[in-house]
Structures are given as structure tokens and as C-alpha cells.
């Protein structure tokens, strides 16, 4: 009888080896994430002139309870219609923030986090060109900008090293000539590196 139990134990070990999962969100784990999305609403062909988008690259470092520090950079571009052209406003920002996980399942497959970040960077309007095609002068200039952002983010693990991100955030920046508040939503992917 002992031999049968031993053989069944060995067989079960081999059968269940593909079911093992790596531990997730351990303190000190790091990931590189790439995000992108739309700015200030959903843009359709009717609203093509007001298109806005962003791209970001950051480094996440997990702490206790699946919370994490986020440090990165972001590029945001928003267009403003003027007669038959679109005037671009571009923002280059650096971010440092902390995200607290407030909801997750037992296996840590889905994590919902709320984060706060400090932002600082540079804004340029029409890439520094003041004179427009019709002789008008653009009154807004290039500025240093600073402020913060509040983010809501959903993480779901596609594998033990690849994480899908869905996020929404509200940015508030002072020093900008293109408006203080910008709402962003988008998606991203995170690659865990250790």
C-alpha cells in the first residue's frame, strides 16, 4: 500500500508541475512598462482636429502589499484647431509616484491600484514657431510645467513576466498655456525584469 501511495504521489507531482505559478508582487520586484492612449476624450473622425495622445516609459518597483513606486517619462501631444490647420502642443514630463493596491484577487491575477504622482517638465506650442501661415502671431509660448496626477490602474497578468495595464488619470499642471487639466486613458504592457 505504501508503494502505491508513493507512486501516486510521484505521478501527481509530474501531472501538476505545469500548474505552478510564480510568486507575484514581491517587495523589490521591478518591471519596465510602456503605456499609451488618448488625451481629453475619445477621438473620432469628426473630432480629428482635436486629437490628443500620449506615450510613456517607466520603471515600477514593488513594495509590501503589492504597492509600488513608479518613476518614468511621458510625452503628451494635443492639437488645437485653427482655421484649416492644427496647432500642436507637446509636453515632455518626468514622473515620480506611489500606487496603492486596494483590490485584488487571491492569486494576484487582477490588481486595482490608485496612485498619486508628481510631474515636472517642459511644454512647447507649435514647436516654438510664433508666426502662423496667415501672418497671425501665437501668443502662447514654451514653458516649464509642474504639478501632479491621480491615476486609477488595472493590472492583469498575461504570464508570470508579462502584465497588461489599463489606466485612467487626471493631470493637473501649472505653467501651461494649453490648459491646466488633461484627462488621459489608455493601455500598456509591463515586463517584469527580476
pLDDT band with cut points at 50, 70 and 90 for residue 18? very low
CA–CA separation, 131 vs 127, rounded Å? 11
pTM: predicted TM-score of the whole model, two decimal places: 0.79
Please tell me the predicted confidence (pLDDT) of residue 7: 63
| Element housing 147 (H / E) | strand 143-157
Query: Cβ(155)–Cβ(165) under 8 Å?
Result: yes
pLDDT tier for residue 47 given thresholds of 50, 70 and 90: low
* pLDDT tens per residue, range 149-164: 999 999 999 988 899 9
Q: β-pairing, 68-82 with 143-157?
A: unpaired
Q: Are the C-beta atoms of 128 and 142 separated by less than 8 Å?
A: yes
Do 115 and 151 contact (CB within 8 A), yes or no? yes
Coil, strand or helix at 3: helix
Over residues 99-138, the pLDDT tens digits come to 999 998 888 888 999 999 999 999 998 876 776 777 677 7
Amino acid at each position: 500500500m505504501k508503494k502505491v501511495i508513493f507512486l501516486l504521489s510521484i505521478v501527481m507531482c509530474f501531472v501538476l508541475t505545469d500548474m505552478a505559478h510564480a510568486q507575484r508582487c514581491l517587495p523589490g520586484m521591478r518591471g519596465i512598462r510602456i503605456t499609451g492612449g488618448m488625451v481629453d476624450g475619445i477621438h473620432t473622425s469628426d473630432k480629428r482636429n482635436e486629437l490628443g495622445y500620449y506615450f510613456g516609459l517607466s520603471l515600477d518597483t514593488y513594495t509590501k502589499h503589492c504597492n509600488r513606486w513608479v518613476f518614468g517619462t511621458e510625452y503628451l501631444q494635443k492639437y488645437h484647431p485653427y482655421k484649416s490647420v492644427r496647432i500642436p502642443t507637446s509636453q515632455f514630463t518626468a514622473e515620480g509616484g506611489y500606487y496603492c493596491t486596494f483590490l485584488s484577487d487571491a492569486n494576484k491575477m487582477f490588481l486595482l491600484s490608485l496612485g498619486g504622482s508628481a510631474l515636472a517638465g517642459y511644454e512647447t506650442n507649435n514647436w516654438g514657431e510664433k508666426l502662423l501661415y496667415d501672418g497671425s502671431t501665437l501668443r502662447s509660448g514654451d514653458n516649464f510645467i509642474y504639478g501632479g496626477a491621480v491615476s486609477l490602474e488595472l493590472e492583469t497578468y498575461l504570464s508570470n513576466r508579462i502584465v497588461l495595464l489599463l489606466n485612467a488619470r487626471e493631470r493637473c499642471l501649472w505653467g501651461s498655456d494649453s490648459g491646466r487639466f488633461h484627462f488621459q486613458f489608455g493601455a500598456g504592457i509591463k515586463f517584469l525584469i527580476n
